[in-house]
């Protein structure tokens, strides 16, 4: 019913939040910052990274992923963060998955990676632009980025479709069988199933 400010143990830029079904949360941001919510207060966790963490996503409290600058991918097991080796040094901007064995990451220069639980796959680049967000609908994977573009991965190739707005799309989520994306200049675009 109303907004209120919460105390933070970090005084810098915070970028993204993920909230678990059991009322625990992780916020990530600049300088490798990751804050954990224990149900009553925010606490700093140790990531052993100084990278700007730009996005966070998880399946449950014991499996949270964070991505950021210089190809940084971190995975939280509920008590500690672990750095993962990935086949890129690009700035990574978005992470999403269906399960811990089906995780998708996107970033600058059209970087798109898939984790299948055993190994990373580097996907063909749908664009040379930065991909800013990724999400799945059914068996398809969608990414959004620069120039109002969105791309769909069907398991073999990317196909591009124009949203009609020549602006940077930054975030997305699934709604009603399609997706909604937001971006610059107050842009809100919604795909229809």
Residue-wise pLDDT tens digits, 37-74: 998 999 999 999 999 999 999 999 999 999 999 999 99
DSSP tag of 184 = T
Report the candidate in 73, 75, 114, 107 with the shortest Cα–Cα distance to residue 90: 107
Residue-wise pLDDT tens digits, 73-85: 999 999 999 999 9
Residue-wise pLDDT tens digits, 138-193: 899 999 998 888 999 999 999 998 888 889 999 999 888 888 999 999 999 998 76
CA distance 56 to 74: 9
pTM of the predicted model as reported, rounded to 2 decimal places: 0.95
Whether the per-residue pLDDT at 101 is higher than 90: the answer is yes
pLDDT confidence band for 130 (50 / 70 / 90): very high
Q: How many percent of the chain have pLDDT more than 70?
A: 99
Laid out side by side, the sheet with 178-183 consists of: 169-175, 178-183, 187-190
**Tokens representing residue 82 in the block:** 């672990």
- Rounded to the nearest integer, the mean pLDDT of the chain is 95
pLDDT of residue 156: 94
pLDDT of residue 182: 95
pLDDT of residue 162: 81
């Amino acid at each position: 019913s109303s907004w209120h400010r919460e105390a933070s143990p970090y005084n810098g830029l915070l970028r993204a939040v993920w909230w678990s079904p059991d009322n625990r949360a992780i916020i990530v941001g600049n300088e490798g910052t990751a804050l954990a919510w224990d149900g009553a207060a925010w606490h700093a966790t140790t990531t052993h990274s100084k990278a700007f963490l730009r996005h966070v996503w998880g399946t449950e409290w014991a499996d949270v992923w964070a991505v950021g600058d210089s190809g940084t991918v971190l995975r939280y097991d509920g008590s500690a963060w672990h750095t993962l080796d990935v086949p890129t040094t690009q700035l990574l901007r978005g992470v999403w998955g269906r399960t811990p064995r089906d995780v998708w990451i996107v970033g600058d220069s059209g970087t798109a990676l898939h984790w299948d639980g055993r190994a990373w796959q580097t996907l063909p680049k749908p664009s040379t632009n930065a991909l800013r967000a990724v999400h799945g609908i059914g068996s398809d994977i969608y990414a959004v980025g620069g120039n109002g573009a969105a791309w769909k991965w069907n398991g073999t190739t990317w196909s591009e479709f124009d949203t009609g707005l020549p602006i940077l799309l930054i975030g997305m989520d699934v709604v009603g069988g399609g997706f909604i994306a937001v971006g610059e200049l107050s842009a809100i675009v919604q795909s229809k199933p």
